[in-house]
Structure 1
Amino acid sequence: MSLLLNMEKRNAVLKRMAILIQEQAEKLIVANAEDLNAYDGGDLAMADRLKVDEAKVSGMIQSLEELASQPDPIGVERYTFTHENQMQVSNRTAPFGTVMIIYESRPDVTIEAAGIAFKSGNKILLKGGKESLRSNLVLVELWHQALEENECSKDWVTYLNYSRQETQDFLANPDQKIDLIVPRGGECLIQFVKAHAKCPVIVSGRGNNFLYVAKTADTQMATDIIVNAKIAKISACNALDKVLIDKELPNKEAFVSELINTLKNKEVAIYSDKAISEHGDTELITNENIWEEEFLDYKIVLGETSGLEDSIERINTHSGGHSATIITSDQEEASLFMESVDSAAVYHNASTRFTDGGQFGLAGELAISTDKLHQRGPLGLTHLVTNKWYIKGNGQTR
Structure 2
Amino acid sequence: MKLLQTRIKNKVLKSMIRILGHERHAIIEANKKDLEAFQKEDQALYERLIVNDKKVDEMITAVEAVMNQEDPVGQELSNRTLKNGLNIVNTTAPFGTILIIYESRPDVTIEAAVLAFKANNKILLKGGKEALNSNLILEKCWHQALEENGLSKEWIKLLHLKREETQEFLKNPTEPLDLIVPRGGERLINFVKTHATCAVLVSGRGNNFLYVSEHADWSKAVNVIINAKTDKISGCNALDKVLINKNLPEYETKLKMLQEKLEQHHVEILVDDKVSSILPQKETVSNSEIWHEEFLALKLLIGEVDTLEEAIDLINTYSGKHSAAIITEHTDEAMEFMHNVDSAAVYHNASTRFTDGGQMGVGAELAISTDKLHHRGPLGLNQLVTNKYYVYGNGQVRI
Q: How far apart in 1 are the matches of 2:219 and 2:389?
A: 53
Amino acid at match of 2:325: T
- State yes or no: 1:152 paired with 2:151: yes
Q: Residue 189 of structure 1: CA displacement?
A: 2.5
Amino acid at match of 1:107: P
- State yes or no: 1:314 paired with 2:306: no
Alignment deviations for residues 136-191 of structure 1 (CA, whole Å, 9 cap, x no partner): 00000000000000111111011111101111111111111000011122223322
Counterpart for residue 356 of structure 1:
356
Counterpart for residue 195 of structure 1:
194
Q: How far apart in 2 are the matches of 1:132 and 1:345?
A: 29
Q: Residue 25 of structure 1: CA displacement?
A: 0.8
Q: Residue 329 of structure 1: CA displacement?
A: 0.2
After TM superposition, the score normalised by the length of structure 1 is 0.98
What is the DSSP-based 3-state SS (H/G/I as helix, E as strand, rest coil) of the residue aligned with 1:134?
helix
Alignment deviations for residues 171-213 of structure 1 (CA, whole Å, 9 cap, x no partner): 1111110000111222233223223322211110310000000
Contact kept? 1:205, 1:367, Cα under 8 Å: no
- State yes or no: 1:168 paired with 2:180: no
Q: How far apart in 1 are the matches of 2:231 and 2:263?
A: 15
Contact kept? 1:35, 1:131, Cα under 8 Å: yes
Matches within 5 A, 1:247-266: 247-266=246-265
Contact kept? 2:205, 2:322, Cα under 8 Å: yes
Alignment deviations for residues 197-247 of structure 1 (CA, whole Å, 9 cap, x no partner): 222111103100000000010111101100100010000100000000001
Stretches of 4+ moved more than 6 A in 1?
A: none
- State yes or no: 1:367 paired with 2:386: no
Q: How far apart in 1 are the matches of 2:46 and 2:197?
A: 31
Q: Residue 83 of structure 1: CA displacement?
A: 1.0
- State yes or no: 1:327 paired with 2:315: no
Q: Residue 277 of structure 1: CA displacement?
A: 2.0
Counterpart for residue 227 of structure 2:
228
Alignment deviations for residues 284-313 of structure 1 (CA, whole Å, 9 cap, x no partner): 111111111111111110000011111111
After TM superposition, the score normalised by the length of structure 2 is 0.98
- State yes or no: 1:299 paired with 2:299: yes
Counterpart for residue 268 of structure 1:
267
Counterpart for residue 15 of structure 1:
14
Q: How far apart in 2 are the matches of 1:87 and 1:359?
A: 43
Amino acid at match of 1:58: D
Alignment deviations for residues 27-55 of structure 1 (CA, whole Å, 9 cap, x no partner): 00100000011112521111111111111
Q: Residue 254 of structure 1: CA displacement?
A: 1.4
Matches within 5 A, 1:82-97: 82-97=81-96
What is the DSSP-based 3-state SS (H/G/I as helix, E as strand, rest coil) of the residue aligned with 1:382?
helix
What is the DSSP-based 3-state SS (H/G/I as helix, E as strand, rest coil) of the residue aligned with 2:216?
coil
Matches within 5 A, 1:29-108: 29-40=28-39, 42-108=41-107
Q: How far apart in 2 are the matches of 1:199 and 1:367?
A: 18
Q: Which moved more, 1:93-102 or 1:184-193?
A: 184-193
Question: Structure 1: where are the runs of 5+ without partners?
Answer: none
Amino acid at match of 1:317: T
What is the DSSP-based 3-state SS (H/G/I as helix, E as strand, rest coil) of the residue aligned with 2:383?
coil
Alignment deviations for residues 31-86 of structure 1 (CA, whole Å, 9 cap, x no partner): 00000111125211111111111111111110000000000101111112111111
- RMSD (Å) for aligned C-alpha atoms: 1.0
Q: Residue 113 of structure 1: CA displacement?
A: 1.2
Q: How far apart in 2 are the matches of 1:40 and 1:337?
A: 41
Matches within 5 A, 1:102-181: 102-181=101-180
